Every structure is written in C-alpha cells, then in structure tokens.
C-alpha cells in the first residue's frame, strides 16, 4: 500500500473542497499549499491586465513565494496535486511548490478544478518543475464530484 498525500492550492475554496473529498475517499493526509502573500479578490481579477494573477501567469518564470515548506512530501509515494486552472494551466505557485521539494521517484497525479477549461496542458506546464517524478494524466473535476468517482480515479492513477 502506497503512502498518499493530497497537496492542493485553492484561491477561492473550490479546489479545497475537492481535495478534502479526495483525501477522505482514499484515506490520505492533506496539505494546503499557501502563498506567502495570500491572494485577494483584486489579485484574482483576470479582467484586469495589471492584477497579480494576470501578471504571474503572463510570466512563465514567475514563482510566487510559499508561506512554508512543511509538506510531508518525503513520506509520500504518490502525491495527488490539486489546483485551479488559470489561463489553461495551474497557477505558477504549483511550480514553486514542485521546485521546493525532491520528487525523484515519486508519482504525481494532478487534478484541477475549472468552470470550463480542460486538463490537457496541466502536466506539460508543471512536469519540468519536478525532474525525476512520474506524472500520470491530469484530470479536471467539477466541485460536485463524488467520493466514489475520486477514489476510482485515484486507484487508476496509482496503477
């Protein structure tokens, strides 16, 4: 039996709901990825070309600072990594998180939440930040997904 971690970033709570449901379904520990400077509503205004999220997403090298680096990654064999979709990919803080830890030999199963985007560009956007990790295909979930569906997906991701 593999040791599982559900690590997630959630700016508005949608991804957090799915992450906690997933953790219950697979009996895994959760870890919330937090920005050192929390995102305000103004920061998340994608209609504003000068908003923090817009500027970060326009810069592929942007790496928003983490509030801490206490995630129990070393103890996990598989990390279920959750995030919203911003501009077709996870927020840059996911790259910051991946670059802060050693994922060599670990499996990373990405899941995202979105009101209309797909998960097609998720792995290619984050994989370079975790060299040596094995990535499974990413999956996009609605916030209303049930525990059984999540458990089935997680089991398939574990191989």
Q: What pLDDT digit, counting tens, does each position of 29-64 carry?
A: 999 999 999 999 999 998 999 999 999 999 999 999
- Distance (Å) of CA 55 to CA 39, 41, 91, 106: 13, 15, 11, 31
Q: What is the 3-state secondary structure (H, E, C) of 90-125?
A: CCHHHHHHHHCCCCCCCEEEEEEECCCCCCCCHHHH
Helix (H, G, I), strand (E, B) or coil at 19: helix
Q: What pLDDT digit, counting tens, does each position of 121-151 carry?
A: 999 999 999 999 999 999 999 999 999 999 9
- pTM listed for this prediction: 0.96
Determine what percent of the chain is predicted with pLDDT higher than 70.
99
Enumerate domains of the chain plus CATH numbers. Answer: 4-158 (3.40.50.360)
Which two tokens mark 8? 């997630």
- Distance (Å) of CA 31 to CA 17, 45, 55, 62, 116: 13, 26, 26, 22, 26
pLDDT tier at 118, thresholds 50, 70, 90: confident
Residue 134: DSSP 8-state: E
Contact status, residue 85 vs residue 114, Cβ threshold 8 Å: yes
Contact status, residue 55 vs residue 46, Cβ threshold 8 Å: no
């Amino acid at each position: 039996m593999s040791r599982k971690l559900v690590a997630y970033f959630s700016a508005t709570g949608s991804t957090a709901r799915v992450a906690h449901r997933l953790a219950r379904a697979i009996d895994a520990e959760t870890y919330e990825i937090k920005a050192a400077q929390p995102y305000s509503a103004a920061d998340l205004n994608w209609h504003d070309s000068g908003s923090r999220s817009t500027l970060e997403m326009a810069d592929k090298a942007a790496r928003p600072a983490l509030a801490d680096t206490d995630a129990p990654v070393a103890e996990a064999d598989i990390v279920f990594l959750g995030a919203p979709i911003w501009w077709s990919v996870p927020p840059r803080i996911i790259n910051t998180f991946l670059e802060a830890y050693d994922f060599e030999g670990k499996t990373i199963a990405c899941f995202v939440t979105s009101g209309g985007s797909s998960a097609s560009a998720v792995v290619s956007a984050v994989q370079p930040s975790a060299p040596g990790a094995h990535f499974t295909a990413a999956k996009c979930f609605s916030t209303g997904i049930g525990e059984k569906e999540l458990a089935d997906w997680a089991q398939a991701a574990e191989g």
